[in-house]
Amino acid sequence: MGAIETSGLTKRFGESVLAVDDLDLTVEEGEIFGFLGPNGAGKSTTINILLDFTQPTEGSASVLGKDCQRESRAIRERIGILPEGFGVYERLTAIEHLQHAISVKGTDEDPDALVDRVGLDADDARRPAGDYSTGMRQRLALAIALVGDPDLLMLDEPSSGLDPKGMQEIREIIREEADDGTTVFFSSHILPEVEAVCDRVGIMNEGQLATVDSLESLRDESGTAQVEFEVEAVPESLALDDIDGVRGVTVGDSRITVTCADPTVKIEVIRAVDRQATIRDVLSEETSLEELFNRYTGGAIQTESETGSGSGSDDGTEEVVA
């Protein structure tokens, strides 16, 4: 049984917006699964359905073998979540947030140990969380997620608002948890972040899974090189296929594009073309993982962490009496 399973999951908002489109997703127990896609691809909506924050229009979803709508509370007993746009009780300290989480999860952990584990300062943990920076809030959210040693960690854009050091620390905690057998479901729009920790990735685009694969085979696919030639005239009988390592040849007006299984084949290809045609120009490119993702998502993936991404709305300047 998968840790997360969705079948035909569909979510419409109103008539025109199809946020999740017939999604079949399986996350195996014990793996670190990267859920990748540009903002607006349907990642957060999917997660919101898994947490029963919102209900699907069609289809079903289960987490740890339990139905997301009928047994949501029981699911949340065994998972830890780090939601996007995590908000705090402005006037409560981190310790007080953790005490409540520990109480409703029915465990007897030490809040100070959790605070220490996520790298939140012990003094800060006794100040109102309304004064925290986004990074401190993310650390608090992670501490709350770790309460009760969950079987599944669901992290939605966990590094938003964190500096590189913070990201590194969060990654380490994720790995420690995974080594313990915890399944990790990790959503992000930032490629290198997912690349650094995940076993397998699913790429969402426009509400659908564009692909699901292990990072290894994606890297294999991405190791290819492309050589593009501009020539005087394309010869009638172009013989390149017999070269070892040539995967494909496409021919245009005065253009020849050759895909090679690995970059070492390039030189041989160039020599072969040079023998058969007059080359005007040569362009050689290696397909990176990044380009591969761009291909699946129509170029919408962000490859660098940008500031102000994710949950920029909670800057703690506004006091809400609630």
Partner 1 sequence: MSTVGSRALSVAKVDFLNVRRAKLVWGPVVLYTIFMFLFFWGQSNADSPDFYAVLWGLIGIGGVLVVPLIALVAAYLSIAGEVESGSITYSLGLPVSRGEFVAGKFLSRAGVVVVGIVVSFLLGILAGFVFVPGMEFEYGDYALFVAVTSLYGLAYVSVALAISAMTASRSRAMSGAIGFFFLFNIVWNFLPVGPVQMLEFLGDQFDVEFSDSFLELVFSLSPTGAYLNSSQLLIPDRFLQTVGGAASSPSDPFYIQGWFMLVIMAGWVVVPMLVGYWRFRTAQLG
Instruction: Give the span between the Cα atoms of 248 and 259, in whole angstroms.
Output: 5
**Span from 46-54, 60-68, 171-179, 247-255 in contact with partner 1 (CB under 8 A):** 46-54
Q: Return the number of the residue (77 or 116) whose C-beta is nearest partner 1.
A: 77
Confirm or reject binding of residue 134 to partner 1 (CB under 8 A): no
Cα–Cα distance measured from residue 163 to residue 41, given in angstroms and rounded to the nearest whole number: 25
Binding-site residue total for partner 1 (CB under 8 A)? Answer: 43
Instruction: Choose between 89 and 109: whose C-beta lies nearer to partner 1.
Output: 89
Q: Which is nearer to partner 1, 4 or 225 (CB)?
A: 4
CB contact at 8 A, 152 and 4: yes
Of 192 and 312, which CB lies nearer to partner 1 in the complex structure?
A: 312
**321 near partner 1, rule: CB under 8 A:** yes
Does 314 contact partner 1 by CB under 8 A?
yes
| Residue 90 engages partner 1 in binding (rule: CB under 8 A) | yes
**Of positions 26, 40, 60, 92, contacts partner 1 by CB under 8 A:** 92
Q: Which is nearer to partner 1, 39 or 55 (CB)?
A: 55
**Interface with partner 1 (CB under 8 A), residue from 123, 304, 308, 322:** 322
- Should residue 73 be labelled a site residue for partner 1 when binding is judged by CB under 8 A? yes
User: Do residues 91 and 82 lie in contact, with contact meaning Cβ atoms separated by under 8 Å?
Assistant: no
Q: Does 106 bind partner 1 (CB under 8 A)?
A: yes
Note whether 45 binds partner 1 by CB under 8 A: yes
- Note whether 86 binds partner 1 by CB under 8 A: yes
- Choose the stretch contacting partner 1; rule: CB under 8 A; options: 70-78, 202-210, 242-250, 285-293: 70-78
The token duo for 300 is 């919408």
72 near partner 1, judged by CB under 8 A: yes
Given the complex with partner 1, which of 74 and 122 has the nearer CB atom? Answer: 74
Contacting partner 1 (CB under 8 A), which of 9, 23, 62, 76? 76
Residue ranges binding partner 1 (CB under 8 A): 44-45, 47-48, 51, 53-55, 72-74, 76-77, 81, 83, 85-92, 96-97, 99-101, 103-106, 128, 141, 144, 311, 313-314, 318-322
